[in-house]
Amino acid sequence: MTPASIPLTEVFPLSNLITLDVMDVDGAVRDSAELAGATRGQFLRNAGVAGAGFVAGGVIFNGLISPAQAAISSKNPSVKNDVKILNYALTLEFLEAAFYKQAVENGALTDPIVKRFAEIVNKHEREHVAFLKKVLGKAAVKSPEFDFKDTVTNQDKFRATAQVLEDTGVAAYSGQGPNIKQRPVVVAALSVLSVEARHAAWIRFINTGGLGDEFNLPAPRTFDKPATEKAVLKAVGGTGFIVG
């Protein structure tokens, strides 16, 4: 079967979980002392739990402090909040960089078009990580540990997962733009956002062969919906890719 003829939901069911429409939810973060003390990996692994579970993503950046202190603020821009936003972006870039690196190194990408995409995006994501770490300096968080399972050894699952991750990354950057206080941070974020959007369009084009239904076109809509920190971390946690 050609890439364009393989439904993404058959290859990677989690693509139904992480969509921009699902992530377009209220970004309010509730206080909970129960999350204090959770490690970065533990927190993200449990982020998708329904019911009592909720997301206060700042825990992954600030260690053993309360979620109320840790979460990115959408109402009070500040220099400290900008650091949280940059570390949030860095954590997502860590995930993408590790995903593409493993996929390229595993040698399972036999389609030259898919392989070329992965190699170039692998380079971009590694450079995004280096860029954000340089901007953050000593304030930069460390990378979590990842287990991408067979999404980095099965070409069809790789393609579907790459589309999901790129769409999620674009929505995440868009969601934090209004919360940034400092102009240099805005410039830095936009320089990454535009490239992530190109990645998303590129993999969509590959996955549909340039054709497809309205949603799966490289540019499927007139306006994109930004995603909140809460929604993005819930979606990422639901993949099970972060293990430590």
Q: Which token pair is 64?
A: 């053993």
Token pair, residue 8, equals 């993404």
The Cα–Cα gap between 244 and 111 comes to 32
Residue 222, pLDDT score? 75
> Domains, the chain, ranges and CATH?
3-239 (1.20.1260.10)
Beta bridge partners of 242: 146
**pLDDT of res. 216:** 65
Is residue 242 classed as helix, strand or coil in its secondary structure? strand
Predicted confidence at residue 69, as pLDDT, reads 38
Q: How far is CA 49 from CA 169, 197, 234, 243, in A?
A: 21, 29, 8, 15
187-219 pLDDT tens trace: 889 999 999 999 999 998 898 876 656 556 777
Cβ neighbours around 159 below 10 Å, total = 25
Who wins on pLDDT, 155 or 10?
155
pTM (2 decimals)? Answer: 0.70
pLDDT at 93: 94
pLDDT digits (tens, 9 = 90+) for 167-193: 888 998 998 988 899 998 898 899 999
Question: pLDDT tens digit string along 56-77?
Answer: 233 333 332 233 335 788 888 8
